[in-house]
Chain A
Amino acid sequence: MGAYAIKRIASAAVTLFVVATLTFFLMFLVPGGPFLSEKATTPQTLKALEQKYGLDQPVGVQYVNYMKRIVMGDLGTSLKMRGQEVNDIIGQRFPVSARLGAIAVLIAIAVGIPLGSVAALNRGKWLDNIIMFIATTGIAVPSFVVATTLMFTFGVKLHILPTYGLSSPMHYVLPVMALAFYPTAYISRLMRSSMLDVLGQDYMRTARAKGISQFKSLFKHALRNAVLPVITYMGPMLAYILTGSFVVEKIFTIPGLGSQFISSITDRDYPLIMGTTIFLAFLLITMNVIVDIAYKIIDPRIKLK
């Protein structure tokens, strides 16, 4: 296990390095720049700004400087939100997104796994059809439609839930619902198909033949194996959902990290693009390692290499 961990950490470091390098050079290939605006900046001002942020140097030199800083844990200063450190921007906003995302994931698991299992056990019956109809809708409908519909229904028409910010537990309800809708639907579908697969296996028939109760055979044998694909899905899903959603955060005015992924690119805020990308890559890699370890715990037959 120890050797495995060292190997994974080393490969994670290499992956991060490649991600950082690729992102760095790709973002400079995109036309435009951080200091462009509808009203032209004077050439002197532009020059001063480029000098101040080191953008007047060749890209290669900038890359080396950036990599030196990043090794020290310094992600630089935002070019758009002048004066704000990228470390601070991520440090302040990630907890907000992560808090919301963690609740949404818990709900997605708590609802998605039972729903998928129930659908599989009732295959072809009306309950299965209803659950799969809802799940398909959840996957097909884009999040801005879900978020806006929720806000309009519960906030504007019924006046029972607040529509912006996160100042009380009630404020979490709408954004969490909007965030949890897609993963819940996805997990239900995944769980249903994997459960159907498991239910058809020989060992399930054997278990039943041995006279094990329906309840026990489901929980002891079926669920444990059927949940594996869900766990695989949860790695990347966790990374994405914890870092926030651009759409949900914008609609519910949530000061999270999700909005920064998109706006940093639109603004050509190079340090912030790098910071958010590296951070997301780091989370993705970490989550995948955790998923691999969780695999081993749930299914001891799996060998970690």
Chain B
Amino acid sequence: MKRKMGILLVMLIILALFTGACRDQPPGQQTPKNTPTSSAQQTEITVHVGPEPDIIDPALNSAVDGATLLIHAFEGLMTLDQNGTPIYGQAESCEQSDDGLTYTFKLREGLKWSDGKPLTAQDFVWSWKRAVSPDTAADYEYMFESIEGYAEGNLNVTAPDDRTVVVKLVAPTPYFLELCAFPTFFPVRQDVVEAEPDTWTLNPSTYIGNGPYMLQEWAHDSHMIFTKNPNYWNASAITGPDKLRFLLMSDDNAILAAFQNGEILFADSMPNDEIDAWRDKPEFNLEGQLGTYYISFNVQKAPLNNPLVRKALVLAVDRDYIVTNIGKAGQQPAGAYVPTGLSDANPVMEFRDVGGDYYDPSRQGYQANLEAAKKALADAGYPNGEGLGTIEYLYNEGTGHQLVGEALQAMWKDIGVNITLISQEWNTFLNTRKNGEYQIARNGWLGDYNDPISFLDMWVTGSGNNDAQWSNKEYDAIIAQVKASSDKNERMQLMHQAEDTIFDEWMLCPIYYYVDIFLKSQKLQGFYSSPLGYKYFMYSTVQQ
């Protein structure tokens, strides 16, 4: 009997053996260490910036955590310094023509790929053209739209010699140098990409870059290890660890546990309900982020096709309550759409300082706003919300979005507007919102570069991101003018005018400006992050 009973157990043991249970160390899974840089042995830093990336091809990546990995393995003509200002990367100089339409970059001498082969101007030309090619199907190909020939699919980028890249633009683009530091603009190796167009990023031996680090190991859903690239032009200045280990974790509680145990020195996310407990600790960091959490109105659907109804809804929101009790992370209540942190024509002034708020988003201003909201609703023909019916508010699953929805439901109830909350799974939600099959929906936007146009050109008629289904000829004309203008002051003025138009019609309802929160061990020195949320570890050291 025992022998027969044991059959199942034996089967299981065989299965365990078959699947490798007796292997001491699964490949690429060693215990991480955060070692001090002062010792003579190899130094190593373990951090978390995000879960398993979908893809680490510079042209195809569209995620912030993916960009953090990319800035370590690649470098563009320009790169960003600690203040987010573009500085020379692979280029050593850049000349701009008087009309601002031609940029001539001179590459540094002796540039090499991580495998030691020479990197030339032609590599940039090929990579940029590849990024806009329909075959590549890159999400961010529109980042090249300021370059001549974009519409025809043949960018006007040339390499007269091995060290010169000449770019011709359609219109002056004040943020063009910043674009040159954006991952989509990084060069990739033609021979490698052509040999394995779909799989070159998966294997460290074919993942050839030109940045300060190079991929040594990628254990999917576990970790990635980057080591220093000896062929990087400025390798001696890279004071970061010999080994940089990115843990690909996705559970916020697990990330926090690993940080508390000292297993990671940096955690890019944490559970929302832990923020209060960590807020005053030195490890808690809060950085501004170029982004706005807002509510989309579908302006084609009644009663939201009435600007006065929209005005009433915008004004009846207590943003201070939302950021204090739901967001909790130090978000700024939004009094406009374009967030703080973007420069104006005069670089010492922010766009938001010049533009000001369209209503007072603070606690003090709430009562006055509420009165104005009631009045707007009455003016719209719905005194105290009578005759308005019930409006649907759509959001995607997730505790935070639901809480915001519930808060808005209660706030709008105060002016007599009845809201039904509808929750959808993420992908379905995106589909519904994109197709305009909603009345009011949660929304959010993160800028791609430090220029307000990154927030404004999405609202032109027919834009893929125009979830509001809004169309305003005057607005379209202003944005066209912005894109054609070569005058810095005029551009900014026009962009303020464009934002005024948004609020003349109360087309959307800003809630708060995003912030980037992360936990950083006090041992970790020399780290910095950019306003786009990229994390730079190449100069990081560990102090015991």
Chain A residues proximal to chain B, CB less than 8 Å: 30-33, 36-45, 47-49, 52, 77, 80-84, 89, 92-96, 98-99, 102-103, 105-106, 109, 148, 151-152, 155-156, 159, 162-168, 219-220, 223-224, 227, 231, 234, 238, 242, 249-256, 259, 266-268, 290, 294, 297-298
- Minimum Cβ distance to chain A for residue B467 (Å): 9
Q: Are B60 and A251 in contact (CB under 8 A)?
A: no
Asked if A151 meets B202 with Cβ closer than 8 Å, knowing A82-B60, A164-B263, the reply is no
Q: Which of A42, A166, A249 has the most CB of B within 10 A?
A: A42
Chain B 19-40 residues near chain A, CB threshold 8 A = 19-21, 25-26, 29-31
Give the residue of A37, A52, A80, A94 whose beta carbon is less than 8 angstroms from that of B137: A52
Task: Tell yes or no: B148 within 8 A of A by CB.
Answer: no
Identify the interface centre among A83, A105, A148: most chain B CB within 10 Å of its CB.
A83
- Verify if B152 is at the interface (C-beta below 8 Å from A): no
A298 partner, pick from B5, B57, B141, beta carbons under 8 A: B5
A156 CA / B259 CA spacing, docked (Å): 10
Contact with A along B12-24 (1 / 0, CB 8 A): 1101100111000
Provide the bound-state CA to CA distance between A168 and B26, in Å. Answer: 9
Do A99 and B257 touch (CB < 8 A)? Answer: no
20 A/B residue pairs, CB under 8 Å, sorted by A? A31-B427, A32-B428, A38-B444, A42-B464, A48-B135, A48-B137, A82-B60, A84-B199, A106-B13, A159-B261, A165-B222, A165-B223, A167-B25, A220-B1, A223-B1, A249-B221, A250-B251, A253-B250, A266-B426, A297-B7
Asked whether, in the complex, the Cβ of A253 is within 8 Å of the Cβ of B198, the reply is no
Interface size on B, residues (CB 8 A): 68
Chain B nearest CB from A185 CB (Å) reads 19
* Bound-state Cα–Cα, A99 to B29, Å: 15
Write the nearest CB–CB distance from B202 to chain A, whole angstroms: 6
Q: Is the interface of A mostly helix, strand, loop or mixed?
A: helix
CA distance A34 to B221 in the complex (A): 20
Contacts of A84 in B (CB 8 A): 199, 202
Q: Which residues of B contact A250 (CB under 8 A)?
A: 250-251, 254
In chain B, residues 220-242, which have Cβ atoms closer than 8 Å to a Cβ of chain A? 220-223
Could you tell me which residues of chain B, from 245 to 280, have a CB within 8 Å of some CB in chain A? 247-251, 253-254, 257-258, 260-261, 263
Partner-binding segment picked from B308-316, B370-378, B381-389, B430-438 = B430-438
B261 touches A156 (CB 8 A): yes
Question: CB of B9 within 8 A of chain A?
Answer: yes
Please give, as numbers and ranges, the residues of chain A lying within 8 Å of B12 by CB-CB distance: 102, 105-106, 109, 238
Give the Cβ gap from A180 to chain B, nearest Cβ, in Å. Answer: 13
A98 in contact with B135 given A32-B430, A83-B202 (CB within 8 Å) = no
From B9, B249, B426, give the contact of A253 (CB < 8 A). B249
Given the known interface contacts A96-B26, A102-B12, A297-B7, the answer about A82 and B62 at a Cβ–Cβ threshold of 8 Å is no
A41 to chain B, nearest CB (A): 5
Give the residues in chain B near A38, CB-CB below 8 Å: 430, 444
Is the Cβ of A156 less than 8 Å from the Cβ of B257?
Answer: yes
Assuming the contacts A77-B198, A83-B55, A231-B8, asked whether A45 and B261 have C-beta atoms less than 8 A apart, the reply is no
Known: A48-B135, A168-B31, A227-B5. A163 touches B258 (CB 8 A): yes
Given contacts A41-B139, A251-B251, A252-B254, are A93 and B221 in contact (CB under 8 A)? yes
Q: Is the CB of B4 within 8 A of A298?
A: yes
**Residues of chain B within 8 A of A162, CB atoms compared:** 31, 263
Inter-subunit contact B464/A41 (CB<8 Å): yes
The answer for the CA separation of A219 and B8 in the assembled complex, in Å, is: 17
Given known contacts A168-B31, A251-B253, A45 and B222 CB-to-CB distance under 8 angstroms: no
Known contacts A36-B434, A105-B12, A220-B1; A155 and B261 CB within 8 A of each other: yes
Out of B1, B26, B54, which one reaches A80, CB within 8 Å?
B54
Closest to B21 in A: A99
Residues of chain A with a CB closer than 8 A to B139's CB: 37, 39, 41, 45
Binary interface encoding of chain B residues 116-135 relative to chain A, with 1 for a CB under 8 A from any of its CBs, else 0:
00000000000000000011
| A30/B4 in contact, CB under 8 A | no
Say if the beta carbon of B465 comes within 8 Å of chain A: yes
Question: Do B427 and A266 touch across chains, with their CB atoms under 8 A apart?
Answer: yes
A253:B219 contact, CB within 8 angstroms? no
**Chain B proximity of A203: nearest CB distance (Å):** 15
Contacts A93-B220, A102-B12 known; A31 to B263 CB distance under 8 Å? no
Q: How many A-B residue pairs have CB under 8 A?
A: 182
CA distance A189 to B339 in the complex (A): 58
> Within the assembled complex, what's the spacing in Å between the Cα atoms of A106 and B134?
52
- CA–CA, A165 and B249, complex, Å: 10
B134 x A99 contact (CB < 8 A): no
CB neighbours (8 Å) of A253 from chain B are 221-222, 247-251, 254
Minimum distance in angstroms from A108 CB to a CB of chain B: 10
Bound CA span A162–B260, Å: 12
**Apart from A102-B16, A109-B9, A163-B258: 13 A-B pairs, beta carbons within 8 A:** A31-B431, A36-B430, A36-B431, A37-B62, A39-B62, A39-B465, A83-B199, A99-B20, A106-B13, A164-B249, A231-B8, A255-B220, A294-B8
Q: Distance (Å) between the CB of B46 and the closest chain A CB?
A: 11
- Residue in contact with B254 in the complex, picked from A159, A220, A251, CB distance below 8 Å: A251
**Nearest A-chain residue to B133, judged by Cβ:** A48
Q: Is B524 part of the contact surface with A, judged by Cβ < 8 Å?
A: no
Most buried by B among A39, A151, A152: A39
Q: Is B201 an interface residue (CB 8 A)?
A: yes
Cβ of A183 to closest chain B Cβ, rounded Å: 12
User: By the criterion CB–CB under 8 Å, are B431 and A234 in contact?
Assistant: no
In-complex Cβ contact of B15 among A44, A96, A98, A224 (8 A)? A98
In-complex Cβ contact of A32 among B21, B62, B431 (8 A):
B431
Measured CA separation A33–B427 after assembly (Å)? 7
Contact (A83, B29) CB under 8 Å given A31-B432, A37-B139, A38-B444: no
Q: 5 nearest interchain CB pairs?
A: A40-B464, A32-B427, A255-B221, A83-B198, A102-B16
User: Closest chain A residue to B250 by CB distance?
Assistant: A250
Complex-state Cα separation, A106 to B13, whole angstroms: 8
Q: How far is the CA of A224 from the CA of B426 in the complex (A)?
A: 50
Q: Is the CB of A152 within 8 A of B250?
A: no
Shortest Cβ gap from A215 to chain B (Å): 13
Q: Is the CB of A164 within 8 A of B431?
A: no
Interface centre among B8, B30, B139, B248 (most CB of A within 10 A): B8
Interface centre among B9, B16, B142, B260 (most CB of A within 10 A): B16
Q: How far is the CB of B182 from chain A (nearest CB, A)?
A: 14
On whether the beta carbons of A95 and B20 are closer than 8 Å, the reply is yes
B194 within 8 A of partner (CB): no
By a CB distance below 8 angstroms, the chain B residues around A224 are 1, 5
CB within 8 Å for A42 and B142 given contacts A32-B430, A159-B261:
yes
What is the CB-to-nearest-CB distance from A23 to chain B, in angstroms, rounded to a whole number?
Answer: 17
Cα distance A36–B52 in the bound complex, in angstroms? 18
A258 to B8, CA, bound (A): 23
